[in-house]
Amino acid sequence: MNISEIFIRRPVMTTLVMAGILIFGVMGYRLMPVSDLPNVDFPTLLVSANLPGASPDEMASSVATPMERQFSTIEGLDSMTSSNGVGFTQITLQFNLSRNLDAAAQDVQSAITQAAPYLPQGMPTPPTYRKVNPADQPILFIALTSPTLPLYTLDEYAETMMAQRISMVSGVAQVQVYGSQKYAVHVQLDPKALATRGVGIDEARTAIQNGNVNLPTGTLWGHHQAFTVQATGQLKNNAAFYRPLIVAYRGGSPVRLSDLGQVIDSVQNDKTASWYVDKTGIRRSIVLAIQRQPGTNTLEVADSVKALLPSFERLMPPSVHLNILYDRSASIVQSVRDVKHTLYLALALVVMVIFLFLRYVSATVIPNMALPLSVIGTFAMIYLLGYSIDNLSLMALTLSVGFVVDDAIVILENIVRHLELGEDRMTAVFRGSKEISFTILSMTLSLAAVFIPVLFMGGIMGRLFHEFAVTIFTAILISGFVSISLTPMLCSRFLKPPAKEHGSLFMAMERVFERMLHAYDWSLQRVLRYRLASLLISIAILGATLDLLVTIPKGFLPSGDSSSIFTSTEAAQGISFDDMAKNSLAIAEIARQDPNVEKFMCSVGGIGGFGGAINNGVMFYHLYDRPPRKLTPEQVIDELRPKLSGIPGIRVYMQNPPPIRIGGMLSRALYQYTLQSPNTDELYHYSQELEGQMRKLPGLQDVSSDLQVTNPQVNVVIHRDKASALGVTAQQIEDALFDAYGQRQVSTIYTAVNEYWVIMGLEPQYLMDPAALSMLYIRSSNGQLVPLNAVADLVKTLGPTTITHYGQLPSVTISFNLKPNVSLSQAVTEVEGSARDVLGKTSITTAFQGTAQAFQSSLKGLGLLLVFTLVVIYIVLGILYESFIHPLTILSGLPSAGFGALVTLMIFKTDLNIISFVGLIMLIGIVKKNAMMQIDFALDAQRNQGKSATEAIYYGCLIRFRPIMMTTMAALLGTLPIAISPAAGASSNRPLGLAVVGGLLFSQFITLYITPVYCTYLDSLQSFVRRLFGSRRAEPMPAPAMVNGNGVIVEAPETVDRAR
């Protein structure tokens, strides 16, 4: 049966089918979203709760613990991490990938409701939650600056006007604000004035709360008209309205709020700040970070947001400047453009290979029709599956360029060979296509089967590479269909017979090919003569490959280049906000002068810090594009590190943001190691010791810990008997402390578009020294003022700045980066060794988190994936050949491909990571095609010409030498641009290109000899088994001289003579 016959005889049908593939592919391409990576939606919720003035201990025990107890019962919860600081708690809930996030959100809301009775009464608002995706970074950073306007006015434009409007844009998930300076009225009391006038601080709070009210006041219902009753209890958002408030009467005279201190227009939190930094200077700013919803088109969302900026500028005063600090869509566009250029280069190289081997223009054009049809047709399928145009899908198409044309090359080469034997065009097309159709079918199905196991990968890697595998799988199937349909049809109409006289280029290439074939013929005869030596060499290569698989340095995902560097800073615990800001600006000044840094954001405190602690900050450097930038982000970091390390009092941690962030934990470095124990004393002691040991490890740098328990603290030790005798309760003491030092929100101002806080505390000069606490008075039950030091002692001690939990246990996470040329596998081994030495038999349990944890899981999964792939290929080949032996012959060349790939990775100092491992999987599909072409002709010669196994494989190798060289060179040159591309984003794909190119170069030489040797040995083994079990081998049926039993043309003697 000739599968191609119907397409050859019906050219119109074939043309229209191909046109349909082309049209639907173009439509799919135009409709597909564009992104940098496939959509990986981590089902993650972030729960936030606030209790202003509460210590980290109080937040952990009274807020986090009750909620964690309820959250732990939710189905599908993978991990739960909480961070507790002064006045806040954040709990990150990450669910398994199969959990529906909307359903999980309902469970979380129910758990918050159940925990509500156990939460403190003084919380200003109930705990809230929002959906987050830790794998997705903001797509835009926009900085607002103004040389004249106060920051709270600038914040009003940012949060009220811009953030709310941007949040309404289709595809925007949330807008975060860095350096928020929201307006608030601050009442700053003087404790001396309070004591002099005999007014308790609680009286001032009550007066403010009673003086600023906004309650419903009812309606008058007359016989003919109704009147709404509206009182003026609500004061406006201006400090001047609060100064005349009467707090109390003393001696018959009113004591007003202005008599007790000052009332000023200020901001909610003046211990947070952000700066916009570029080559022109450093300016205070409000920064908006825009995140997109999962599955949306990054470019469309970014363009929609940027389209709003001119309208915002028209509504703002001229002094307000909008600066795009970072635009992720620009790097995506550049990355996709680079991959497209790589794709075009691969196409050109493959076309060149075909032309050099066939040397006919018509013969070159025909197989290359399979390239655009296979690539463009793939877009239709991946669009229907909801995929996007991203780096992985385009990389899959680039890789497919090298072997989707293989099928067309094989069938064309066979038809050309029949033409060279003197047959007319139609006879050559029918006979050539029929002769090779089973080989094409076998090659296509077995190559596609290579990627079936990838579809079964679980976890985050499965999410990432599912799209990659489906893209290549689809391209292979389409190319196989095009090869058996369009290619023979075009050959029957347009392929010209070989010319009798050829040009100089043709003859030069012919001489080169003949010399190559002669050399191969000579060497093959000697290999077959000394088969045992060849077998031993192949066994040695197998052993070396297995050894390399174990010993080669291993990583997870290669770093990319998004023209950005994420920087975190850490100062001593207890540092003042002013000193922290001063140190951060010193760092910013040095980074601003670096020639690779274009602009960046610097933020301290609030949302900008880790957990909001004052001694932490972040910076986000945006680098110049590459080119003209010559250095990679890692090289920029290496240049900046010694410069920034010289600033006293602050540590700087820099990292190149990974292509995808795994896990919900934000840390100062890429990799995390978590310790947890119910015994906090043991946990804190040994975690510090382990951190010290890890700092000494030669392969690690930027080692840091989230343990912060040495913050200077003042403990107020209450003497309950004395307090009771004086009519003072512990409740009154803590209320007074909260009023004085907790920046307490005592009232709310409601306006038409926003609401603002009224915050009460002491004047700044009384917030600087613990000795000032002795000036605080508490109003007793009989109205007398009692000094704090009469009922309590002040003890200076150390306490936590933040407290973290993992699961429901206290935890400490140590973060680290790798030094250059150090693999993640080496680092994991060193860290685990240090942990065993330090922790010994303690109750502390440990585990890697995030990327390091995913790496450990991948080590187990990738080995199984490789075995699964080999099993699937063996099954498919066994079904196609109806043999248990022939699949082993075909797979015999795989160790050489693996050896070449692993050696190449080691030469270029590249880890065996997820990307390069996919290259090994691809080599299984590419390399076995060579053996299949050799085996198919050898089997046909054995069955129909009665040749021995040695003779059959010898002639099969010579006859298929040209298509083997063509397909291998096409695959090699199609992958070469990925391995050598100088583009900024090419570094993340380069390991795959290196693995494939190295594997093909080595295996191309080895498999041409190994496959014949294994074929003869396995044939002898098969004959021995048959004799052993007494089975009789059927004698070959006689057939006409030139036609086998199936009607397939066999090789005439002159064909072999010509090949030799």
Q: What is the mean pLDDT of residues 978-989?
A: 74
When pLDDT is cut at 50, 70 and 90, the band that residue 717 belongs to is very high
On whether the CB atoms of residues 814 and 705 are closer than 8 A, the answer is yes
d(CA 616, CA 668) in angstroms, rounded, equals: 10
Which amino acid is residue 308, in one-letter code? L
What structural domains does the chain harbor? Answer: 43-132 (3.30.70.1430), 183-217+233-267+711-799 (3.30.2090.10), 535-551+883-1060 (1.20.1640.10), 563-656 (3.30.70.1430)
pLDDT digits (tens, 9 = 90+) for 25-52: 999 988 887 777 777 767 888 899 988 7
1034 pLDDT higher than 70: no
pLDDT digits (tens, 9 = 90+) for 924-960: 877 887 788 788 778 877 777 777 878 888 888 888 7
pLDDT digits (tens, 9 = 90+) for 462-517: 777 888 888 888 888 888 888 888 888 988 888 877 666 666 767 787 788 888 88
pLDDT recorded at residue 1039: 37
Label the pairing between strands 597-604 and 616-623.
Answer: antiparallel
pLDDT digits (tens, 9 = 90+) for 1008-1019: 888 888 888 888
296-333 in b/e form (b: 16+ CB < 10 A) is: bbbbbbbeebeeeeeebeeebeeebebbbbbbbbbbbb
1055 pLDDT higher than 50: no
pLDDT digits (tens, 9 = 90+) for 783-836: 899 999 999 999 999 888 888 998 888 999 999 999 888 888 899 999 999 999
Lowest mean pLDDT among 33-37, 167-171, 989-993: 33-37
When pLDDT is cut at 50, 70 and 90, the band that residue 1054 belongs to is very low
d(CA 911, CA 984) in angstroms, rounded, equals: 19
pLDDT recorded at residue 721: 92
Q: What is the DSSP string of 589-621?
A: HHHHT-TTEEEEEEEESGGGSGGG-TTEEEEEE
Say what the pTM is: 0.80
Mention every residue, 6+ apart, whose C-beta is less than 8 A from residue 535.
1013, 1014, 1017
pLDDT recorded at residue 695: 92
Q: Which two tokens stand for residue 207?
A: 């007066």
pLDDT digits (tens, 9 = 90+) for 864-899: 888 888 888 888 888 887 888 888 888 888 899 999
Burial class (CB in 10 A: 0-12, 13-18, 19+), 356: middle
pLDDT digits (tens, 9 = 90+) for 356-375: 777 777 777 887 777 788 88
pLDDT digits (tens, 9 = 90+) for 346-359: 778 877 877 777 77
d(CA 594, CA 640) in angstroms, rounded, equals: 8
The closest alpha carbon to 297, from 339, 341, 336, belongs to 336
The closest alpha carbon to 299, from 338, 332, 324, 325, belongs to 332
540 pLDDT higher than 80: yes
pLDDT recorded at residue 972: 82
Burial class (CB in 10 A: 0-12, 13-18, 19+), 633: buried
pLDDT digits (tens, 9 = 90+) for 582-607: 999 999 999 999 999 999 999 998 65
Q: Which two tokens stand for residue 608?
A: 């900008």
- What is the C-alpha R_g of the chain? 37
Q: What is the DSSP string of 734-756?
A: HHHHHHHHS-EEEEEEE-SS-EE
pLDDT digits (tens, 9 = 90+) for 274-288: 999 999 999 999 999
pLDDT recorded at residue 467: 85
pLDDT recorded at residue 283: 94
Percent of the chain with pLDDT over 70: 94
pLDDT digits (tens, 9 = 90+) for 627-667: 788 888 989 999 999 999 888 889 999 988 887 777 656 67
1057 pLDDT higher than 50: no
Largest Cα–Cα distance in the chain?
131
Which amino acid is residue 533, in one-letter code? A
CB atoms within 10 A of CB 943: 17
Helices (H) and strands (E) in the chain — how many of each?
Answer: 35, 31
> CA-CA distances (angstroms) from residue 711 to 56, 714, 731, 810?
11, 10, 25, 18
Lowest mean pLDDT among 79-88, 319-328, 419-428, 604-613: 604-613
1038 pLDDT higher than 50: no
pLDDT recorded at residue 763: 94
pLDDT digits (tens, 9 = 90+) for 556-573: 888 878 888 999 998 888
Choice between 777 and 122, residue whose per-residue pLDDT is larger:
777
d(CA 146, CA 283) in angstroms, rounded, equals: 8
Which amino acid is residue 256, in one-letter code? R
pLDDT recorded at residue 501: 61
pLDDT recorded at residue 207: 94
pLDDT recorded at residue 345: 81
Label the pairing between strands 88-95 and 77-85.
Answer: antiparallel
299 pLDDT higher than 60: yes
pLDDT recorded at residue 833: 92
pLDDT recorded at residue 985: 64
